Amino acid sequence: MEPVADTERRHSIASLDSSIRKLEKTLTSVERKGSSTTVVSKRLKALRIGLSALHAVWENQAYPYSEQETVDAKEILTSLFPSLQAMADKFKPGSSQATLLARRVRSLELAREALDEL
């Protein structure tokens, strides 16, 4: 994995934490409505695995997930990029929304790279 500055590491971890919290709220909302939770649950698990991979690579923390969970997480994280790119096209360059989205994309790229190392 390429060297990553401490600031970028902090931003990436914070971005994934934020994404996880948002998906947890979404999951609760979807459950309340009685809708299917499959997609949200899979994405949430993939983000948690990605975050764990970053902690494992950068901070030498334990990585508790199986090889199959890792493969599945990489596929799910990769599948998020087209929709994120579509969102990026809607934001004004340099806006706070564009900055947050760029950080989210970067954090997902780094998580995917970390998963490749495990």
pLDDT tens, residue by residue, 1-47: 889 999 999 999 999 999 999 999 999 999 999 999 999 999 999 99
Please report the DSSP string for the chain in residue order. -----HHHHHHHHHHHHHHHHHHHHHHHHHHHHT---HHHHHHHHHHHHHHHHHHHHHH-------HHHHHHHHHHHHHTHHHHHHHHTTSPTTSHHHHHHHHHHHHHHHHHHHHHH-
pLDDT of residue 31: 96
- Count the domains in the chain: 1
Query: Quick one: pLDDT at residue 48?
Result: 98
Q: Is residue 1 a part of any domain in this protein?
A: no
Q: Is the pLDDT of residue 80 over 90?
A: yes
- What's the mean per-residue pLDDT of the chain? 96
Residue 70 lies in a domain: yes
Task: Check whether 89 has a pLDDT greater than 90.
Answer: no
Q: Is 98 exposed, middle or buried (0-12, 13-18, 19+ CB in 10 A)?
A: middle
Per-residue pLDDT at 15: 97
pLDDT for residue 52 is more than 90: yes
Percent of the chain with pLDDT over 90: 93
What does the alpha-carbon distance between residue 73 and residue 7 come to, in Å, rounded to a whole number? 25
pTM strictly above 0.85: yes
User: What pLDDT, on a 0 to 100 scale, did the predictor assign at position 1?
Assistant: 83
Q: What domain range is 26 assigned to? A: 6-117
Section 42-65 average pLDDT: 97
Residue 80 lies in a domain: yes
